[in-house]
Amino acid sequence: MKNYKMIITYDGTRYYGWEHQPTTDMTIQGKLESVLSAMTGTEVEVIGAGRTDAGVHAKGMVANAHMETKMKEEEICDYMNRYLPEDICVQEVRVASDRFHSRYNAQGKTYCYTCYVGDKKPVFNRKYVNIIDGKLDVDAMKRAADILTGEHDFASFCGNPKMKKSTVREIYSIDVSLKGSFLNLTYHGSGFLQYMVRILSGTLLEVGQGKRTPESMYELLEERNRSLAGATAPAKGLCLLKVDYSKELDRPDAVQ
């Protein structure tokens, strides 16, 4: 039995997130497992690098699954794309180390939150952007982002009030970039709490709208109180771009 690493792209609009749900089969994990179980004739568990929320998209989600099959990597990829829904695509399948675990071995993730701040309706992008009325003070947002960058306790930006594990995370960078009518907030960090990127984005947008100052980020970090931070930005604007791993674990001959 080999351990296969997969890179997956999906439009999350129709789905209730990555993880299994007890009341619906409309999850990304569920669709992948259904196809792979049919392919191998046995039940296959697909492990994802994270649990994206309902409505969140991905260009570079990473998953792994241990399977027994005579099919080559390219054949597995072709089979999956033949039977998966049109809004899920497997970009790559290849054998990894037996000890490779897509979630536990992840060393960093990159997310992008996209907003539209133009005068006309973004007809063809409407499912993938948060539409903002009025202009934004991008420079103020950049100053606030600089304050949030680094290792902090992000309890104020966590959507789970009963979080038992540490809420300390490190954000390596937050890039605030306005290109034409599209504002991209790109986050690269060691890992993110539940709804963290969406709450960060909602808070930065309030800074851009003049509803709070960049310097107020210091208080949010210190107080560790979710009620003080901004609104949770809509899921449709968020996309997982990339997951970072050690190259050693990608090798099938890595030391066990």
Q: Which residues are catalytic?
A: 53
The three-state secondary structure class of 74 is helix
* Residues paired with residue 186 on neighbouring β-strands, in sequence order: 112, 175
Distance CA 198, CA 160 (A): 13
Going by their DSSP bridges, the two strands 108-116 and 88-96 should be labelled as unpaired
DSSP code of residue 37: H
Tell me which H or E stretch contains 200.
helix 196-208
Helix (H, G, I), strand (E, B) or coil at 66: strand
- Contact 168/192 with Cβ under 8 angstroms? no
What's the CA gap between 42 and 67, in Å, rounded?
9
Residue whose token pair is 């196809």: 35
Q: Mind giving me the DSSP string for 99-129?
A: T--TTTT--EEEEEEEEE-SSS--TTTTTS-
Intra-chain end-to-end CA distance of the chain, in Å: 15
CA distance 106 to 190: 8
